[in-house]
Structure 1
Amino acid sequence: MTALDQYKCMDEKQAVEALLETLIYPQEMKVSIRNEAEDLVQFVRKENKKASLLNKFIQEYDLSSAEGLALMTLAEALLRVPDDFTANALITDRLSTAEWNKHVGSADDIWIKISSLGLATSKTVVNSMVKRLGMPVIRETTFAAMKVLGNVFVLGQSMEEALKRGKKMTDQGYLYSYDMLGEGARTWEDADRYFESYMGALKIAGEQNKDSSGNPLKTSGVSVKLSAIHPKYHYAYKKKAIPELSERLLKLAKVAKKYGIGLTMDAEEVDRLEMSIEIFENVMKDPALNGWDGFGLALQAYQKRALPLIDLLIEKAKQHDQKICIRLVKGAYWDTEVKHAQLEARADYPVFTRKVNTDLSYFACAQKLLAAREYVTPMLATHNAHTISAILHFARACPSGLKYDGFAFQRLHGMGEDMYGKVAEVGIPISIYGPVGNHKDLLPYLVRRLL
């Protein structure tokens, strides 16, 4: 039993009470955070009037609407469907669940009205006697639309394309964390292919790096999933998987250090956390990485262990005299974690079951990371204006006096560009999480994070 086990499935009420005791959040700060967030939202709304047609389309069909959910879940699955019959059934199911006509009247942009009318017409066709004649046209049009949607969120289908497409942002001072496709290798052949993909990405990104300091706030980097580079990354195989994964991850880290760029170990399911921390420590303490601060990991705020995990990581950084990066995210496997906990009849869930509680955990974690910038480099990932405002306030109020130094924000490629353009004016580095790979593989991965 590890020190973190007591927090894994603790009572949610107790977990929230512990977070409230930790968070420094006086009333005057709450009011100031809200006011600053409202100013940021108003700025973004004004900028949205200049947005591209595709961005306006995404804004019209946001994820809070049935129509937005229908489109995004369609995007998640359609490009992976192998046959026309199943594709037709999926399109029929998704288009039939929403009321597209209401957007014809409510949309401000004429082209959004036309798009909404087209979707409404498609719904009529799939539910009518002319379905057999109309479905081929609707199917091909929908496939094309999903690929266009993929272009918004996928940086490139290769590292070369990603670098070329991202040059506009890097020229403005933005950083990238390139995420190569690699979710769950099933065989060693898969794992070797993903490993070489990561190795190639590190070399290509490294050759483009113009800053040899290795400072993660000045250089781009690559994100790696342990499940992609080992087919047995499971607790049942931990005796073999931990040393083998430590060896593989160290090889990648040495290349990242050579080029002076970052390497971040992505977070996965909660039952893999203990293994991942052991692997992370094995690599971070290796003498070959001395003098390089670009090694890090992602930490999920929706886990009840998030705050004590930060304490543990800070202690390890002190113990090994090695500064590390911690990317704070809210978490992308909520549905899976809840379902697993139900199937296993656990006393409680390992993740918070209410969004407001996850937000509270994120605030407490961000505050603790900002207070520990001597030992960690916080990389704070969010697209929420209120959360951004809160982080800015926490940074200004931090006893260290560092204010806006020593941390970065992070956003997904294709999201939050206007908002972070404003935030960047205060001089805080902005890192963009840029997925690289085929649309049919990467779009489902991103949609799960959006949903």
Structure 2
Amino acid sequence: MWQQRQLKEGINRSAWIDRLLPQLIADNHLRTQALRFIDAVPMLNDDKTLVRHFKEYFGEVDPGRLPALISWGIRRISLYSIPGFMAPVIRAAVKGVAHRFIGGETVAEIVDSVSRLQQSGIHTSLDLLGEETVSEKEAFAYQQAYLDLIQQLARQGFDDLNLSLKLSSLYSQITPVDTDGAVAILSERLMPICDAAMDAGISLCLDMEQYDYKAIIFRVFKHLAMQPSYRQWQGFGVVLQAYLKESDEDLTELLEWVEQRGVPVSVRLVRGAYWDMETVMARQQGWSVPVWQTKAETDACYERCLKRLFASPLIYPAVATHNIRSLACAVVLADQTQRSPDSYEFQMLYGMSDELKGLVTERGLKLRLYMPYGELLPGIAYLVRRLLENTSDQSILPVLESADVERVLAPPQVGENRRSEFEAEFINHPLHRFTQQSERENFAAALRSVEQNLDKTYPLLLTGHLTIEEAFLESFNPAKPDEIVGRVVRAGEDDAEVALQRAVDAQRDWGRKRFSERADLLQAAASKLIEHQDEFAAWEVKEAGKGWQEANADVAEAIDFLNYYAKTARRFDTVEQPDMPGEINTHEYLPLGVGVILPPWNFPLAIPVGMVAAAIVCGNSVVLKPASETPIVAWHLCKLLQEIGMPEGVVNYLPGSGAVIGEAMVRDPRTNFVAFTGSKEVGLHLLNVVTGLSESQRQIKKVIAEMGGKNAIIIDQDADLDEVVKGVIESAFGYQGQKCSACSRVICVEGIHDLFVARLVDAVESIRIGDPALPGVTMGPVISDAAKQRIVDKLDACELTASCVSKVELPASLRGHYLPPMIFSDVLEDSPLAQQELFAPVVAVLKAKNFAEAIDIANDSDYGLTGGVYSRSPDNLRLAKQKFSVGNLYLNRKITRANVNRQPFGGFRLSGTGFKAGGPDYLLQFLRARNITENSMRKGFSPESV
């Protein structure tokens, strides 16, 4: 025990942290493991689990690379494996790191910290930790926490105190797609805090966060600062991030605006804390990377901004930096602009680079420390971000005694050591980020254009053919059932005969073309679709009830299918020839013939495009019978194919009854294959239909069927609940749960169940429900009244065996096919709620004794489509990879939104047949392979021997 006590006392000293940081800077793998472990510690409540995680994260690292304390811990675990001995030591170490960077966990502690700093002539900016909010309940709790903090600080009589605030903590539904709505709500919620701060003589600074929120934060700041109540307030400020490429432009707009205001504001200039996240996210999504890619570029931008801030008499510059050159530049600029010492200040992070603070205060310059305050649990997220920021190559943490002064003070060399841009063989079409006002305006304009073209009648697109009897299939807006989106001519049996024969006739010539010729047409269609992507998405909003982001994602996926299948098809033009002497072998691919395409309504563009594109690029011709709920989107697709020059008869648009024309075409002997996406029941019926041969049929028909899922997300006891709740909300309630990939089961490992359910219920009750044409709406209607009634009938039976724990009230003004998001708890593993696909905004929550049992429960299903795991245990993640039996497994992210090429989509068991859509093998299902072998020897003579 003496040894343990001595070690814990050593941990409480900060010297070991100063030794640790250089090691983290030098070793990327060690830094990753250390930060991930620290991030998980708050959820590791029992000693055994804590020690197991410590070993999992550090046990595989080369002992020679480990810091002394960590190496000592690994040796003790390996020798004794006594959790009760090691766990307190580990917790003490993590707390030692946390307390180094966090000023206090209680108001009493923070008051003491602020008092000590003020006695040293150092000012403070307090940051209330825990800005991650997943519900409006949490958002209002943070608003009250800010107000309580201001009230308690006001009693202390501190001089020149500042409060830093993250706007995302005040609104759980903040999103760039609804920038106007977010600005209005956040302005309203911030006003009481501004009032309280003004009354208490406390200045307020709006922190800058991730790039998605930048425009919202600037707009809220400018809006409130121009209000009569606050226009004369000089204690209001905002942050500018120099690592953003838009910083110069943002500063220009800010300087022009402050001239209009006429009263000074504070601008805290920082480098930025989210560099890794911004870079990775942008590259994943195909967006322009918003941050500079080298430290030199960031440093140069920082200095440009410094010069302009010091040059403006209406700006109070707060120089927030640990960079020695930046500090020196600010001192020089202050002299050049004849700034008085009280007209600017330096800011540094509490607990970071203490040796630099003396350089500022000893010269009589004003220094303010950015001091986080709050509980350890939310504080760890801040701690990890700070350590990540200050141990990356985007930052400098100089050790003054050993620093090369000339190197540290040298001007940034822009253009050197530039990071190479990420390049991939296939680039997915980027989604709208909706951070730019032009993106939002263009989408809104497309919606207005579509609204002006509702209630029109659309023909069959069978040139020269007139229907014998004109009957119509009407399409209605599920959010407004009395609004007719349009009507299409309903095809009958005679029309089906014409379409099928045209497909047969067209296929002969089409099938003889080279793959590259057909691929060219697919890429032309993709280019045309890109030109009209907002228009197609707007049609989906109206006809399918998709929100802005869901509709945009569906169109982007359609573009990806066209480009990807065009690219992968070109390889088939190269004939394989595994020759031997005296023998010529040719391996080639031929089309199947004529196919019937039966897509669903829930992805009204992407799925029909994917199935049609794959079929026709392989030389087949098709009859497309769109879902009866979304025939208008399909009509516009086929019209687009006509416009880019698709030969007549290759794609035949035929809306109508599945029972009347769909099944007749499936049974017809001229049909060679059927591509279907939909329910398990219909898919199995089609498989049964095609197994029987008709009298004139000479080919076994192929069925490419993608069916349903009963998808589960497993939540481990160490999971990050902020990420879990957001991931489950998006996976379960995105597009009202009407996705075959949607999460309908959540399996919680014991210990986290109650906390997760409580936060999920609060988050679900914060979802904005309404017309998806409004950008701020998260959930719209289900597709039809029939679907709504089917769901209600099933849920009436389910409520006998489980309890619904969510109490969401639908707005009385809604008149569409709306259902509230529902969460059922205490669900039995074998109950219909846990086994049957509902295709609805419904989640069943189950319990598991441990992680292995959770996988067993997840696998106990007729389906095997998608699944997810939220865990911070490397061993459990490995176990999930080995045993979770699904076609698409997602670890620590939502389980919806599979990207073409990156996440080919398709499942096991009764979730489907064939290869995965959007993958390298998918086209093989639409082809016949043929091999030709020629004997090249004649009378013993072979041309190869000459």
Range of TM-score over shorter length: 0.7 to 0.9
Amino acid across the alignment from 2:319? L
Alignment match of 2:293 (pick from 353, 356, 359):
353
Amino acid across the alignment from 1:76? D
CA distance in 1, matches of 2:248, 2:56: 41
Deviates more, 1:220-229 or 1:417-426: 417-426
Q: Which position in structure 2 is the counterpart of 1:24?
A: none
Instruction: Determine whether 1:406 maps to 2:335.
Output: no
CA distance in 1, matches of 2:49, 2:227: 50
Q: Which position in structure 1 is the counterpart of 2:190?
A: 249
Residue 296 of structure 1 aligns to a residue whose secondary structure is: strand
Q: 1:53 to 1:91 in 2, by over 3 A?
A: closer
Amino acid across the alignment from 1:356? A
Q: 1:207, CA displacement in angstroms?
A: 2.8
Q: 1:65, CA displacement in angstroms?
A: 3.4
Percent of pairs with identical residues: 27
Alignment match of 2:281 (pick from 340, 354, 363):
340
Instruction: Determine whether 1:87 maps to 2:50.
Output: yes
Q: 1:375, CA displacement in angstroms?
A: 0.8
Instruction: Determine whether 1:423 maps to 2:384.
Output: no
CA distance in 2, matches of 1:446, 1:121: 23
Q: Which position in structure 2 is the counterpart of 1:450?
A: 387
Residue 352 of structure 1 aligns to a residue whose secondary structure is: coil
CA distance in 1, matches of 2:58, 2:196: 47
CA distance in 2, matches of 1:362, 1:436: 27
Q: 1:308 to 1:239 in 2, by over 3 A?
A: closer
Q: Which position in structure 2 is the counterpart of 1:171?
A: 119
Deviates more, 1:80-89 or 1:424-433: 80-89
Q: 1:357, CA displacement in angstroms?
A: 1.4
Q: Which position in structure 2 is the counterpart of 1:15?
A: none
Alignment match of 1:377 (pick from 297, 302, 316):
316
Deviates more, 1:309-318 or 1:83-92: 83-92
Describe how 1:203-282 pairs up with structure 2 within 5 A.
203-209=151-157, 211=159, 219-282=160-223
Q: 1:138, CA displacement in angstroms?
A: 2.4
Amino acid across the alignment from 2:140? D
Q: State the Cα deviation string for residues 364-411 of structure 1 (Å, max 9, x = none).
A: 112221111x11111111122232223222322x3x322645111111
Instruction: Determine whether 1:74 maps to 2:37.
Output: yes
CA distance in 2, matches of 1:401, 1:366: 14
Q: 1:141, CA displacement in angstroms?
A: 1.5
Q: Which position in structure 2 is the counterpart of 1:139?
A: 87
CA distance in 1, matches of 2:213, 2:196: 25
Equivalent pair of 2:14/2:96 in contact (CA under 8 Å): no
CA distance in 1, matches of 2:49, 2:208: 33
Alignment match of 2:13 (pick from 49, 54, 63):
54
Q: Which position in structure 2 is the counterpart of 1:394?
A: 333
Q: Which position in structure 1 is the counterpart of 2:73?
A: 122
Equivalent pair of 1:226/1:245 in contact (CA under 8 Å): yes
- Structure in which a larger fraction of residues adopt strand: 2
Residue 319 of structure 2 aligns to a residue whose secondary structure is: strand
CA distance in 1, matches of 2:135, 2:299: 37
Say what the alpha-carbon RMSD is for the aligned residues. 2.5
Instruction: Determine whether 1:319 maps to 2:260.
Output: yes
CA distance in 1, matches of 2:201, 2:328: 31
Structure 2 runs not aligned, ≥5 long: 1-9, 389-946
Q: TM-score, normalised by structure 1?
A: 0.77
Equivalent pair of 2:206/2:238 in contact (CA under 8 Å): yes
Equivalent pair of 2:205/2:237 in contact (CA under 8 Å): yes
Equivalent pair of 1:209/1:261 in contact (CA under 8 Å): no
CA distance in 1, matches of 2:46, 2:83: 13
CA distance in 1, matches of 2:277, 2:34: 21
Equivalent pair of 2:267/2:316 in contact (CA under 8 Å): yes
CA distance in 2, matches of 1:328, 1:150: 25
Higher gyration radius (CA):
2
CA distance in 2, matches of 1:155, 1:138: 26
Q: State the Cα deviation string for residues 95-152 of structure 1 (Å, max 9, x = none).
A: 2355565788xxxxxxxxxxx2x532322345x4x46x33443233211211122111
Amino acid across the alignment from 2:332? H
CA distance in 1, matches of 2:182, 2:12: 47
Equivalent pair of 1:70/1:97 in contact (CA under 8 Å): no
Instruction: Determine whether 1:306 maps to 2:306.
Output: no
Q: 1:54, CA displacement in angstroms?
A: 2.6
Q: TM-score, normalised by structure 2?
A: 0.38
Residues matched between the structures, number: 375
Amino acid across the alignment from 1:357? E
Q: 1:161 to 1:210 in 2, by over 3 A?
A: closer
Q: 1:166, CA displacement in angstroms?
A: 2.3
Structure 1 runs not aligned, ≥5 long: 1-50, 105-115, 212-218
Residue 182 of structure 1 aligns to a residue whose secondary structure is: coil
The one of the two structures with greater contact order (alpha-carbon pairs below 8 A, sep at least 6) is 1
CA distance in 1, matches of 2:280, 2:306: 28
Amino acid across the alignment from 1:59? D
Amino acid across the alignment from 1:92? K
Q: State the Cα deviation string for residues 256-310 of structure 1 (Å, max 9, x = none).
A: 1112211111101112111211111111011112432010111111101112211
- Structure in which a larger fraction of residues adopt helix: 1
Q: 1:204 to 1:409 in 2, by over 3 A?
A: same
Residue 426 of structure 1 aligns to a residue whose secondary structure is: coil
CA distance in 1, matches of 2:60, 2:300: 33
CA distance in 2, matches of 1:94, 1:355: 29
Equivalent pair of 1:226/1:233 in contact (CA under 8 Å): no
Equivalent pair of 1:301/1:328 in contact (CA under 8 Å): yes
Describe how 1:36-47 pairs up with structure 2 within 5 A.
none
Q: State the Cα deviation string for residues 191-236 of structure 1 (Å, max 9, x = none).
A: 010001111122222332355xxxxxxx111111111011111123
Residue 197 of structure 1 aligns to a residue whose secondary structure is: helix
CA distance in 1, matches of 2:115, 2:20: 29
Describe how 1:152-191 pairs up with structure 2 within 5 A.
152-191=100-139
Q: Which position in structure 2 is the counterpart of 1:367?
A: 307
Residue 14 of structure 2 aligns to a residue whose secondary structure is: helix
